Amino acid sequence: MDKKELAFLKEITDIQGTSGNEDAVRSYLKEKFSAVADKIETDGMGSLMATLGTEGPKILAAGHMDEVGFMVRTITKDGYIKFARCGFYFVTGVLSQHFTILTDTSAVPAVCSLGPMQFDEKYPDIDNLVMDVGCTSDQEVKELGIQIGDFIVPEGNFKTMGKDQKYLVNKAWDNRIGCAASLRVMENLKREGHGNIFIGGGSTQEEVGCRGAVTLGKMSQAEIGFSLDVGTADDIHGMPKEGISLGKGPELCVMDSSTISNRKLLKFVVKVADECDIPYQVSIMKRGGTDASKFQTANYGMPVLLVNVPSRYAHTPTSMIHYDDYIHTVKLMTEVIKRLDRKTVDEIKTF
């Protein structure tokens, strides 16, 4: 493994940026993309669009910058903080975890309280949990600068695991890994050459309804779209083994709750993967939607494909991916986009 690449992946996932508060992520990506892109733009939702090339069909392949988190909902008289979900967060991934409350002027450490000891083994409703910041009154909390509407983000805890250290654990793989892949693909295309206009970057507020993808899709005026995201692996203890495993290659998603991928585009990507001997997995996501759902309705209809890096324990602070899946995702997308010339794009778009 490349130590510099691991450092990059740690850096990009450690950044704190929930839905609606992607400023730090956008600043980071803007700096990185500026070193390779011909043009950098942002839209009114805060989505970032980086463009490479001036001629040929427009191909969009982007991740989303936001991660799931919370927002301060209420400050109790005895100094605890009740919170609201900012994107879907599994209650199993919240209990007794470390978080940071981002105020206007500081970052306040917090832990999610389990509450009174419970022996019935039932998980509490997430609306009944609180953040503990070591205060005994609402006045003490307010003196820390905490107010209703402040964002609450899990702390980063990057780890490499396994015999070959290729299992990577941290918060926010969903979906900084898609943004990382988009950046690396653009760097490859800049170095190797391509015959189209490639658009990379990251959308905002995916976790609360794919809102930034609406404006990013329209701003891009792309003809083909790829949503680079994470998928759900099946190789978890106690789950039926239905085929998607970490370390077996990127996941080409045929359908999720909000998108049916374009069949001709899927077949084209599979053909490229086979020709280049790049491993891949084909899947149907039973639940969940992605930016692909909004990309496909932009510009009077855009053929799309959802390309996932498989993950375990998504929407928790301890999500896990495999390094090889990320590398193969970058390689596959690079080779696919290099081959999407005008003739190929027109064939995919024509019904």
**CA-based R_g, the chain, Å:** 21
Number of neighbouring beta carbons within 10 Å of residue 175: 29
Catalytic entry in 206, 207, 251, 335: 206
Coil/strand/helix, residue 138: helix
- CA atoms within 13 Å, Cβ hemisphere of 335: 16
Q: How far is CA 305 from CA 99, 129, 166, 255, in A?
A: 34, 38, 26, 9
- Angle at which helices 323-339 and 263-275 cross, to 10°: 110
Instruction: Let me know if 155 is a catalytic residue.
Output: no
| Secondary structure of residue 199 in the 3-state scheme | strand
- Residue 316 region, left (φ>0) first, then alpha (ψ -120 to 50), else beta? beta
The sign of the dihedral angle between the CA atoms of 322, 328, 331, 336 is negative
Contact 332, 269 (CB under 8 A): yes
Q: What amino acid positions are annotated as catalytic residues?
A: 206
